[in-house]
């Protein structure tokens, strides 16, 4: 098993150490699976970041109106909701690996539709396909990595994979300044095209195999993942025993009805709330309207984008190194506290700007506040909610729970993205004070209700919520 990463390591040293641990502690099958998860997250980030640097060139080349481009941007969220609706049932029905095949094919089709679009309908169709893929893979990726990783590497591997979402966004932002939008779409398809041949070599989740009655394959898959000389009998026995226990506890309810049983109330509340908190705390507003925030407070957009991107990635690397050392809960608390302070400082900067106070320092305060917000998000709230949501649900309701979490994230993101422009016009200060309130409530929620899951097997974690 992997040795713990030292708290004294620098982010770059910790990242290198983590990659070394994954390589040393895991087999080729797990490394392939980890690579697939990382490339999938990178593709996710490329899609999220694509619309910002390409807006003016797409509108000019295709002669689009503001309304046309707004539809192109917002239809991604429609796809997210559609993907969230089907992700749970799809992954339970055809398995984790087959679903990864589906999502990456949709990614490629979406990019090609955008790259070769001559009319707005094909542009929108490509974006819709991408949204559906993201809606499925946003929950599938963490679930798959969580179900196959050794317990001491589970948090770090999943967090490292999710870190590549931020890398994808930053890369597309940078390439978008020098590459034409059609060529950028072709480049965006490369991560998914790279994943497709790797899918022939990655194993199915042993927990899904146990769920569907393929018990004989569980130990075989675990040996592939842990190494042929590893003793996996205890791990296989624990998976099979817990799966059988869950089946015996079933009372005839299926799908969503089963998810709403009293015994799942705590895990459902924690999972859905953690997934929705970053969105309701202003993430979509900060992400989609960063340029407006900087311009309104007198900050150079180029300086702002570069600063926030670098800080978010460094914080993500640090969070990845610490997630299996300091634990999920403590990082969530630090991350949420930082987002709270970032929102509060942003509100103060707009208050000072509106009242013409400290005009020379306001742009600096605004830049620091936005950087603090994104850096804090990258440290914990960017990846850990998905990790915890993929850990706390038993396999019999994991599909339905994935759908619920996906819907919570997509709908809350859409609400904030849709309303932010109107709220910003009403009162910029008031808008960020609202986000400050939500992040403050989120801090209290995490402190009171979210348990620590570091170092526990999935079956041990899920037993915490069995009452």
Could you tell me if 342 and 266 are in contact, meaning their C-beta atoms sit under 8 angstroms apart?
Answer: no
How many Å apart are CA 371 and CA 10, to the nearest integer? 20
The answer to whether position 209 is within a domain reads no
Closest CA to 278 of 170, 393, 417: 417
Cα-based distances in Å from 324 to 2, 108, 416, 456: 10, 34, 32, 11
61 and 152 together in one domain: yes
**Which stretch, 120-124, 141-145, 264-268, 324-328, has highest mean pLDDT?**
120-124
The range of the structural domain enclosing residue 35 comes to 28-202
131 and 63 together in one domain: yes
The answer to whether position 162 is within a domain reads yes
Amino acid 206: pLDDT: 92
How many Å apart are CA 43 and CA 363, to the nearest integer? 33
The answer to whether position 243 is within a domain reads no
321 and 416 together in one domain: yes
The lowest-confidence range among 90-104, 281-295, 429-443 is 281-295
The answer to whether position 210 is within a domain reads no
282 and 184 together in one domain: no
300 and 391 together in one domain: yes
- Last-in-domain residue among 202, 218, 237: 202
Amino acid 193: pLDDT: 92
First to last CA, the chain: 32
Comparing 34 with 113, the larger pLDDT belongs to 113
SS3 366: helix
181 and 273 together in one domain: no
For residue 298, pLDDT over 90 is answered with: no
For residue 166, pLDDT over 50 is answered with: yes
Length, in residues, of the chain? 467
411 and 305 together in one domain: yes
The answer to whether position 161 is within a domain reads yes
Q: What is the mean pLDDT of the chain?
A: 83
Q: What is the pLDDT of residues 325-366, one digit of tens each?
A: 888 899 999 999 999 999 999 999 989 988 888 877 888 888
Amino acid 330: pLDDT: 92
How many domains does the structure of the chain reveal? 2
Q: How many CB atoms lie within 10 A of CB 284?
A: 21
Mean pLDDT of 195-213: 90
74 and 197 together in one domain: yes
Amino acid 254: pLDDT: 55
What is the chain's alpha carbon radius of gyration, rounded to the nearest angstrom? 22
Q: Which two tokens stand for residue 342?
A: 């970032």
Could you tell me if 109 and 60 are in contact, meaning their C-beta atoms sit under 8 angstroms apart?
Answer: no
Percent helix, percent strand, percent coil in the chain, to nearest 5? 80, 0, 20
- Last-in-domain residue among 177, 202, 227: 202
Q: How many CB atoms lie within 10 A of CB 37?
A: 28
Give me the CATH number covering residue 172: 1.20.1250.20
366 and 428 together in one domain: yes
Could you tell me if 115 and 167 are in contact, meaning their C-beta atoms sit under 8 angstroms apart?
Answer: no
Q: Which two tokens stand for residue 216?
A: 């004989």
Please state the pTM of the whole predicted model.
Answer: 0.77
Q: Which two tokens stand for residue 264?
A: 């799942």
194 and 314 together in one domain: no
Comparing 160 with 369, the larger pLDDT belongs to 369
Q: Which two tokens stand for residue 85?
A: 């609706």
Amino acid 250: pLDDT: 59
Q: Which two tokens stand for residue 362?
A: 């306001």
- Last-in-domain residue among 202, 233, 263: 202
């Amino acid at each position: 098993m992997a040795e713990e990463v030292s708290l004294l390591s620098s982010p770059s040293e910790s990242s290198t150490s983590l990659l070394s641990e994954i390589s040393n502690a895991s087999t080729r099958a797990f490394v392939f699976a980890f690579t697939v998860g990382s490339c999938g997250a990178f593709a996710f980030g490329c899609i999220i970041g694509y619309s910002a640097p390409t807006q003016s060139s797409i509108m000019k080349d295709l002669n689009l109106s503001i309304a046309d481009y707004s539809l192109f941007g917002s239809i991604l969220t429609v796809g997210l909701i559609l993907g969230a609706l089907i992700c749970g049932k799809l992954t339970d029905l055809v398995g984790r690996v087959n679903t990864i095949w589906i999502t990456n094919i949709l990614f490629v089709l979406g990019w090609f539709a955008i790259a070769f679009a001559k009319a707005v309908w094909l542009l929108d169709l490509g974006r819709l396909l991408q949204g559906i893929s993201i809606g499925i893979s946003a929950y599938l990726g963490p679930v798959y990595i969580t179900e196959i990783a050794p317990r001491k590497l589970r948090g770090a591997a999943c967090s490292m994979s999710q870190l590549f979402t931020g890398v994808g966004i930053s890369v597309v932002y940078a390439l978008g300044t020098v590459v034409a939008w059609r060529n950028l779409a072709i480049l965006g398809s490369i991560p998914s095209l790279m994943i497709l041949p790797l899918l022939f070599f990655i194993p199915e989740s042993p927990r899904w195999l146990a769920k569907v009655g393929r018990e004989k394959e569980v130990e075989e898959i675990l040996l592939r993942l842990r190494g042929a000389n590893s003793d996996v009998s205890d791990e296989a026995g624990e998976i099979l025993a817990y799966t059988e226990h869950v089946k015996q506890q079933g009372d005839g309810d299926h799908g969503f009805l089963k998810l709403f049983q009293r015994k799942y109330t705590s895990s459902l509340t924690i999972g859905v709330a953690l997934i929705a908190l970053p969105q309701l705390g202003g993430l979509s507003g900060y992400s989609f309207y960063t340029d407006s925030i900087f311009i309104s407070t007198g900050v150079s957009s180029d300086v702002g984008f570069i600063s926030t991107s670098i800080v978010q990635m460094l914080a993500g690397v640090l969070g990845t190194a610490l997630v299996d050392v300091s634990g999920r809960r403590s990082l969530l608390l630090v991350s949420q506290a930082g987002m709270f302070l970032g929102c509060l400082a942003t509100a103060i900067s707009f208050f000072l700007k509106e009242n013409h106070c400290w005009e020379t320092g306001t742009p600096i305060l605004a830049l620091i506040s936005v950087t603090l917000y994104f850096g804090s998000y990258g440290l914990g709230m960017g990846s850990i909610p998905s990790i915890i949501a993929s850990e706390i649900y038993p396999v019999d309701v994991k599909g339905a729970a994935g759908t619920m979490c996906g819907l919570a994230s997509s709908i809350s993101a859409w609400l904030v993205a849709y309303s932010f422009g109107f709220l910003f016009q009403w009162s910029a200060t008031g808008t960020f004070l609202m986000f400050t309130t939500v992040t403050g409530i989120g801090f209290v929620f995490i402190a009171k209700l979210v348990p620590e899951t570091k170092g526990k097997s999935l079956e041990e974690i899920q037993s915490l919520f069995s009452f």
